[in-house]
Structure 1
């Protein structure tokens, strides 16, 4: 399961690296050359560069999650990605009037996939047995291997 999880994170991160670098450093090209982006004018270099920078931040989080595969890091990276992907899908579904039928179909399919994939990865994360951050309590709430106090008494018993 961790192989599938890592592969999904790498895929999401790779897409974000490409889009982030392109948008941040060649915003006019991104606006003019990516199909459907120019369907909602006007072009704003400032906004495109800002989106590129935010996308690069997301790429960094997804890359870190893919490298370390620590449960909280993976969950936070995927939720951050969904915080972008879900409203992005909703926007595009509501603004298809200037798209051709082919553009609309491809756009909605890609945007829906950008929501379904991280949701599936979150489900895998729950079952993958990923390591927890040092010092975090295990899911059951009882001391476990992630707890420094696991199996050790840190104080004497109560005199009661």
Structure 2
């Protein structure tokens, strides 16, 4: 249970940092993160992305604070709903990136999918261990 809760907290930190950075400093995010600047800068889109990350951070932090299996699954599932299509898009749009930028994108985005997926699998073990056997 500690591993799942710790993983949820880690994802909350990532989402909070990304959300605040992109919402408050959209041009900085655009200029620094590999693969973002292959499209023209759009402040509105960057700020919307930041706000979306903060909304996901809220769900994640609620799951951390009020930890139970259902809340953890909700947060991890919501994270994956974003992370999987995000990975697919960037995996198929590596043109324009240096080899180092492409490698960074591939590794970071795969971790962003594999970590919550593994934590989601662990919630099954948490759920099984927290179910008490029927009384006779």
Aligned-residue offset at 1:86: 0.3
- Matched with 2:117 is 119
Quick check: 1:73 aligned with 2:46? Answer: no
TM superposition score normalised by structure 2: 0.90
CA RMSD of aligned residues (A): 2.2
Uncovered stretches (5+) of structure 2, i.e. residues with no partner: none
CA distance, structure 2, for counterparts of residue 103 and residue 88 of structure 1: 16
Q: Distance in 2 between matches of 1:47 and 1:109?
A: 24
Higher relative contact order (CA 8 A, sep 6+): 2
Q: 3-state SS of the aligned residue for 1:99?
A: coil
> Highest CA radius of gyration, 1 or 2?
1
The total of aligned residue pairs comes to 135
Verify the 8 A CA contact 2:34 2:97 in the aligned structure 1: no
Q: Which of residues 80, 83, 90 is equivalent to 1:82?
A: 80
2:13 is aligned to 14
Correspondence for 2:60? 62
Q: How does 1:1-160 map to 2 (within 5 A)?
A: 2-39=1-38, 41-129=39-127
CA distances 1:70-97 after superposition (whole Å, capped 9, x unpaired): 1211111111100110000000000001
Displacement of 1:105: 1.2
CA distance in 1, matches of 2:95, 2:21: 26
More helix by share: 2
In the superposition, the TM-score normalised over structure 1's length comes to: 0.77
Q: Secondary structure at the match of 2:82?
A: helix
Unmatched 5+ residue regions in structure 1?
A: 133-137, 145-160
